[in-house]
Amino acid sequence: MLKFRFACVIGAVLVLTPSAFAEGLVNVLLKDTGVVADLSKSMGLGMAMKGDPKQAIMSIEITPKTVAHGKVKFFVSNKSKDVIHEMILSPVADVAKPLPYIDKDNKVDEEASIHLGEVSELDPGKSGSLIVDIKPGKYILYCNIAGHYMAGMWTTLDVK
């Protein structure tokens, strides 16, 4: 009888824990094609893209693309076989306006943009998470390793 009750308590905890983030869980995949190429293709948010964005050699994929406001957990996985990636979360006021950028560093200027949190420098095959309390609006998730953002490694998230 005691074993059964213990199993029920553990079962209840396992069932309740995932549902705590049922609406606020975003799965994030950091990906690249493994192809060595020019990382300065100007594929950043709001930029006049050079070339077809479908030709981007790096990407961030999220599921779902819309979540409810409040606490949101981002579960981030680096699917690359040999490249370190990261995920940074920032609000976006205007999707037509580029993020502040430092050309000489080939990176987004994190000091000049609002930075809500990150899962930094994940080795290939590794995972991490970030929990943030966010308000309704549009957000960008991007990798700010030099060249990655301009190579197309960003996506947007709608928060209702």
Confidence check: pLDDT of 34 > 80: no
Alpha-carbon torsion angle 130, 131, 135, 139, nearest 10: 10
- Determine the Cα–Cα distance for residues 97 and 22; give it in Å rounded to an integer: 32
pLDDT tens, residue by residue, 64-102 = 999 999 999 999 999 999 999 999 999 998 888 888 999
Q: Where are the domains of the chain?
A: 23-159
Q: Of 98, 93, 99, 89, nearest to 140 (Cα)?
A: 89
Identify any residues that bridge with 70 across adjacent strands, giving them in sequence order.
134
Q: Which CATH class is domain 23-159?
A: mainly beta
Angle subtended at Cα 84 by Cα 22 and Cα 149, rounded to the nearest 5 degrees: 80
| pLDDT band (50, 70, 90) for residue 19 | very low
3-state class of 160 per DSSP? Answer: coil
